[in-house]
Chain A
Amino acid sequence: MTPPAPVESRTVRPVGPLVISIEGVTKLYHMGDETIHALRGVSLEIHRNEYLAIMGPSGSGKSTLMNMLGCLDTPTSGKYEFSGQNVASMVDDELADIRNREIGFVFQTFNLLARSDALKNVELPLIYAGLPPQVRHERATAALESVGLGNRVHHKPNELSGGQRQRVAIARALVNRPSIILADEPTGNLDSKTGVEIMELFEDLYEKGNTLIVVTHEESIARHARRIIRLRDGLIESDGPVD
Chain B
Amino acid sequence: MNEILKMAFGALGVNKLRSILTMSGITIGVFSVIGVMTAVSALRGSIETGLSFLGSNTFQFAKWPTGITGSGTDWQKIEARKRITFQQAERYAEIMKPYAEVVCFKVFNNDSLVQATAGGHKTTPGVTFGGTNEYFLIANQYSIEAGRNFTGGDVDMVRPVCIIGQDISSKLFPAQNPIGKTLKANGRTYMVIGTFAAKGTMFGQSEDDIIMIPISRYLMDFGAERYSVNITTQAPSQIAYNATMDEGISAMRVCRGLRPEQDNDFEVYSNDSLIAAFAKIADVISAGAFIISAIALLAAGVGIMNIMLVSVTERTKEIGVRKAVGARKVVILTQFLVESVVLSVTGGLFGIVLGTLAGDGLAMFLKVSIVFPWGWALTGVIVCSVIGVVFGLYPAWKASSLDPIDALRFE
Contact = CB atoms under 8 A, between A and B. Distances in A.
Interface of A: 67, 70, 72-73, 92-93, 96-97, 99-101, 105, 107, 111-113, 115-116, 124-125, 127-129, 172, 176
Contacts of B322: 124, 128
A188 to B, nearest CB: 14
A127 B335 CA distance: 13
Nearest to B330: A93
Given A111-B317, A111-B320, A124-B322, A92 B327 contact: no
Contact of A99 (B11, B14, B325): B325
B325 A128 contact: yes
Nearest to B10: A115
B327 A67 contact: no
B3 A127 contact: yes
15 contacts: A70-B324, A72-B408, A92-B328, A93-B328, A93-B329, A96-B323, A96-B327, A99-B323, A99-B325, A111-B321, A124-B322, A125-B325, A125-B326, A129-B326, A172-B325
B404 interface: yes
Contacts of B404: 72
A128 B331 contact: yes
A105 B325 CA distance: 7
Contacts of B318: 113
A128 B328 contact: yes
B249 to A, nearest CB: 76
Given A72-B324, A105-B324, A113-B321, A92 B329 contact: yes
Contact of B326 (A99, A111, A115): A99
A73 B324 contact: no
B405 interface: yes
A105 B321 CA distance: 9
Contacts of B325: 99-100, 105, 124-125, 128, 172
A96 B326 contact: yes
Q: Which of B14, B321, B325, B327 has the most CB of A within 10 A?
A: B325
Given A67-B405, A72-B404, A99-B324, A115 B329 contact: no
Q: Which of B317, B320, B324, B405 has the most CB of A within 10 A?
A: B324
B321 A96 contact: no
Q: Binding site of B, secondary structure by majority: helix, strand, loop or mixed?
A: helix
B174 to A, nearest CB: 69
Contacts, number: 57
Given A99-B324, A113-B321, A107 B329 contact: no
A196 B208 CA distance: 92
A111 B328 contact: no
Closest 4 CB pairs of A and B: A100-B326, A125-B325, A128-B326, A93-B328
Interface residues of B, number: 21
Nearest to A127: B3
Nearest to B324: A105
Contacts of B14: 115
Contacts of A100: 325-327
Contacts of A105: 324-325
A111 B322 CA distance: 10
A79 to B, nearest CB: 21
Interface in B260-315: none
Given A111-B321, A115-B10, A127-B3, A97 B326 contact: yes
Contacts of A97: 326, 328
A72 B404 CA distance: 7
Given A67-B405, A111-B408, A115-B14, A101 B326 contact: yes
Interface in B366-411: 404-405, 408
A72 B405 CA distance: 7
Nearest to A110: B321
A172 B322 CA distance: 12
B168 to A, nearest CB: 68
B37 to A, nearest CB: 39
A95 to B, nearest CB: 9
A100 B321 CA distance: 11
B348 to A, nearest CB: 25
Nearest to A104: B325
A127 B320 CA distance: 16
Contacts of A112: 321
Contacts of A111: 317, 320-321, 324, 408
Interface in B321-364: 321-331
A101 B322 CA distance: 14
Contacts of B10: 115-116
A195 to B, nearest CB: 21
Nearest to B326: A100
Nearest to B11: A115
Nearest to A93: B328
A125 B327 CA distance: 8
Nearest to A175: B325
Interface in B31-81: none
Given A96-B327, A111-B320, 20 more contacts: A96-B323, A96-B326, A96-B328, A96-B329, A99-B324, A99-B325, A100-B325, A100-B327, A101-B326, A105-B325, A113-B321, A115-B10, A115-B11, A124-B321, A124-B322, A124-B325, A128-B322, A128-B327, A128-B331, A172-B325
Contacts of B327: 96, 100, 128
A62 B45 CA distance: 75
Contact of A73 (B317, B321, B405): B405
A107 B324 CA distance: 11
B81 to A, nearest CB: 74
Nearest to B332: A96
A29 to B, nearest CB: 11
A108 to B, nearest CB: 10
